[in-house]
Chain A
Amino acid sequence: MSAEGSTIVSLRGVGKTFDSGTVALAGLTFDVREGEFISLLGPSGCGKSTVLRIVAGLSAPSAGAVDWPAGHAPIGFVFQEPTLMPWTDVAGNVLLPLKLAHAEEARSHAAVTLALKRVGLADFAQAYPRELSGGMKMRTSIARALVTEPQLMLFDEPFAALDEITRFRLNNDLLKVWQELRRTVIFVTHSVFESVYLSQRIVVMTPRPGRVFADIAIQAPYPRDERFRTSADYAGYCRQVAETLGKAMGSGT
């Protein structure tokens, strides 16, 4: 299954230099096609998160441009931390994007219920964030990003702080949701295994300044499950990606 949609967003020579003088990104160029699941892989501090923030419009590039050939797509963002509002319950948190857009109440309610069902939190709508486990908080955060059914979903190392069991389960659930909705996903991670398991394409980045080092297609078919996770194919891809990442880190300064 190859990604053959039209380009949804295209980064052209994007550079970012912070006020402190740190050059986070330099000459970063890659396209993201519609419906694609793409991972940005690189060591901590290689500017992966900065790329996401620039795509989301939360940060402006100091050089280059971000093009939207078919117009600016609606975006959902999942942060590294769950980033929930503690003063309202799960349903209230998921409702937020619709509330801010002044969406009609009956439709919003249905959308919230559906989003919660998709992430497996249907029974926890009335729970407050502090009553949830780390994994459930993250699910709430994903439901909030899903609720507007955006064209483009950005994930900023969302599962980095979770234990392996929870992380695997969330990986599976995320893939299920992605196959159902077929929205474009840009997923930032520093885990080789996670990126190979999830993505169709992995963009490997060099550290300081962040640049595209390699663009690797993972051609394993979906649905992917625990069988894929233990297959020789998976192991082969992991080795290939890990070696590339090693070279990318060596090439940085």
Chain B
Amino acid sequence: MNERALRIGMPILVLALVLAAWDLVVRAFAIPPFVLPSPGLVFTTLIVDRELLWHSLLVTLLTTFEGFALAVIGGVGLAILFNQSRLVEYSLYPYAVILQVTPIVAIAPLLLIYLPQPLAVLACAWIVAFFPVLANTTLGLSSVDHNLFALFELYKASRWQVLWNLKLPSALPQMLAGLRIAGGLSLIGAVVAEIAAGSAGAGSGLAYRIAESGYRLNIPRMFAALLLLSAAGIAIFFVLSALSHLVLRRWHESAIKRER
């Protein structure tokens, strides 16, 4: 079997084994569905509740996407600003770090008090996704080849030309790595905020469904929603990885297959 087939085949085999074991345990010990539903039941719930869950998935994904987009705009924008003005960097960077190290779970309830719920959820998604974009882009912008920099200086390039033709392309690999982290994190941020808002009962995202199903002891639906969240996270990761590969495939070592 070749490398590629193994890479795809082995995880599927593991999944099949785990599912089989799970089903066996549920059957053998006659575990009731409100304690542990069988994989079949989770799958059935996924189909039966598809409209409700699909709608919730879209709500969560939309929030995630908006938070991510704002994080990219804000993170890249602020990184460029930091790069252009040391004064701005010194003034604001510590606060960006504080925003990052304060656990989002602790901020979410506070945000929910001051902001309308959809906005608070969005803010959470943004806060967690913003920092990796900022940190990685900042690193990328300042790791330009010194000789290339001298070359631009020699040809009397303007500040704008240096930024556009040298710094931003140099920063692209790190920036894309930041985006890949940020994509997953914005989903986490959205989920945390929805869970925090859950008791308020106004939400309709997937995480809210999980919280709600928990109260109602609708465990199969909890599993189904969790499954969708994981799938969403995986999809985000793959889309961003594909984007990164597409952009870097011609020139960056990370995107090039090594010849043996």
Which A residues are closer than 8 A to B by beta carbons? 53, 56-58, 75, 77, 79, 81, 83, 85-89, 96-97, 99-101, 128-130
* Contact (Cβ within 8 A) A86 B252: yes
* Contact (Cβ within 8 A) B251 A130: yes
On chain A, the residues within 8 Å of B145 by CB distance are: 83
On chain A, the residues within 8 Å of B151 by CB distance are: 77, 79, 83, 96
The binding surface of chain B is classed by DSSP as helix
A77 to B154, CA, bound (A): 8
Add 16 more A-B contacts to A77-B150, A100-B156, A128-B250 (CB < 8 A).
Answer: A58-B154, A77-B154, A79-B151, A83-B151, A86-B252, A87-B169, A87-B252, A89-B250, A96-B151, A97-B155, A100-B152, A100-B155, A100-B165, A128-B251, A129-B251, A130-B256
Q: Given the interface contacts A79-B147, A96-B165, does A86 sit within 8 Å of B153 by beta carbon? A: no
Interface flag for B172 (CB, 8 Å):
yes
Within B142-165, the residues touching A (CB, 8 Å) are 145, 147-148, 150-157, 161, 165
Query: What is the distance, in angstroms, from A52's C-beta to the closest C-beta of chain B?
Result: 11
Please count the residue pairs between chain A and chain B whose beta carbons lie under 8 angstroms apart in the complex.
51
* Contact (Cβ within 8 A) B256 A100: no
The binding surface of chain A is classed by DSSP as loop
On chain A, the residues within 8 Å of B165 by CB distance are: 96, 99-100
* Contact (Cβ within 8 A) A57 B250: no
* Contact (Cβ within 8 A) B161 A100: yes
* Contact (Cβ within 8 A) B153 A58: yes
Which of A57, A83, A89, A101 lies in contact with B148, CB distance below 8 A?
A83
Q: Given the interface contacts A58-B150, A79-B147, A96-B165, does A86 sit within 8 Å of B251 by beta carbon? A: yes
Which one of B155, B156, B161 has the highest number of Cβ atoms from chain A below 10 Å of its Cβ?
B155
On chain B, the residues within 8 Å of A57 by CB distance are: 154
Query: What is the distance, in angstroms, from B164's C-beta to the closest C-beta of chain A?
Result: 11
A77 to B156, CA, bound (A): 13
On chain B, the residues within 8 Å of A87 by CB distance are: 169-170, 172, 250-252
Q: Given the interface contacts A128-B250, A129-B251, A130-B256, does A100 sit within 8 Å of B157 by beta carbon? A: yes
On chain A, the residues within 8 Å of B152 by CB distance are: 100
On chain A, the residues within 8 Å of B154 by CB distance are: 56-58, 75, 77
Q: Which residue of A lies closest to B247 (CB)?
A: A87
Query: What is the distance, in angstroms, from A148's C-beta to the closest C-beta of chain B?
Result: 8
A87 to B148, CA, bound (A): 13
A168 to B172, CA, bound (A): 37
A58 to B253, CA, bound (A): 30
* Contact (Cβ within 8 A) A96 B155: yes
A83 to B155, CA, bound (A): 14
